[in-house]
Amino acid sequence: MELVCKNCFSDKEIIGLIVSQGKIGNCDCCKSETVETIELIELLDFFKELFDNFQVKADGKSLISLIQGNWNLFSNLGCGHKILNEALNKTESIINNSEELVDFSSEIIENINYWSFLKEQLKWERRYFTNIETLTDDLGWDSFFESKTIIKNDETFYRARLHQNSQEDIYPIDKMSSPPAKYASAGRANPIGIPYLYLSDNEETILYEVRASYLDEISVALFTKNEAYQNEIIISDFTEIPTLYHPNGVNKKIKSTLLKQLISRDLSKPMRRYDSELDYIPTQFICEFIKTFTNVQGIKFRSSLHNTGSNLVIFNQETMKCRGIKKVQISKVHIKAIDI
């Protein structure tokens, strides 16, 4: 196999490379005809760097499942197997084939596992004098949150508040933003006394997020960017499909993806009635870390309660403006239990 084409891959960076530098031809891998192609040898440096981030491990997962599961590098498994096996043969990797059981390198695992250590340290050992230099100089975490998105002027977001009884009037606009600092309780992202604005990009998602039940009445507010705020609202995006291709930067791409997956899972985790507010402290810390070291105005992450929507945490609520409020009632709730 000499030629691969843009149709073999899903990674937008590799596709962009092939489109910009490739030549029209017939693909030896997926058999596409008259399409932008590139010689596989031109991608071997990338694949060699990629393979160096894995170790053979008997209780691991197949190489292709780790790559596809985390980055969806290839357009389909057939192309993935062909390209990986050819690249493995040409780079003399310690990995024999795409189905061999592997894990990430010890260096990557150690870097990502520090999140678990840090969470316990913040909750039970020390909270205000954590060694930031370890996170930045040693682990490089300050460079892992570079995937950003900009809130457009016409993008709409939602915030909801449950009513305590059916006689309550719709909440006024000044009651639909974050509470004043002196009344701000601790949340998944914000510490006590430092209010953040929690929004969702999907109206149905916000109803799940407030734990609405059958026949509950809810005020739902619509927010857009505040025209009085002249700067761009830049958000650290945990929902973007990560790319893996990056010359001399694959190791960082892998760490960034894996760390953001762990943090996003903790950010979106619903608070159970028997959980402690101590569980909020690690995500409060990492939000402050991201806010400080990336100079963004918020974070976007997937909702664990409604998988078609995403949540936003806006650090400065003055960047957003409530445009209107409506009152709704929950007409149906679907609950599903699993054995544990």
Place of tokens 């402290």: 281
pLDDT of residue 112: 97
Mean pLDDT, the chain, rounded, equals 93
Q: Over the stretch 81-92, which tens digit does the pLDDT of each residue have? A: 999 999 999 998
pLDDT of residue 307: 83
Let me know the angle formed at the C-alpha of 225 by 224 and 231, rounded to the nearest 5 degrees: 170
Asked whether 245 and 11 are in contact (CB, 8 A), the reply is: yes
166 has a pLDDT exceeding 90 = no
Dist. CA 5–CA 27, nearest whole Å: 6
272 has a pLDDT exceeding 70 = no
pLDDT of residue 138: 96
Place of tokens 């197997």: 81
Give the closest residue to 253 by CA, choosing from 33, 62, 67.
67
38 C-beta neighbours (distance < 10 Å), count? 23
Mean pLDDT, rounded, for 83-103? 95
270 has a pLDDT exceeding 90 = no
CA dihedral 323, 325, 331, 336 (to 10 degrees): 60
212 Cβ contact list (under 8 Å, min separation 6): 160, 162, 218, 330, 333
255 has a pLDDT exceeding 90 = yes
**Residues of the chain with pLDDT > 90: what percent?**
80
275 has a pLDDT exceeding 80 = no
Tokens of 293: 């070291």
pTM: 0.91
Tell me the range of 50-64, 117-131, 235-249 where mean pLDDT is highest: 50-64
**AA letter at 298:** G
Q: Over the stretch 27-71, which tens digit does the pLDDT of each residue have? A: 999 999 999 999 999 999 999 999 999 999 999 999 999 999 999
pLDDT of residue 235: 95
212 has a pLDDT exceeding 90 = no
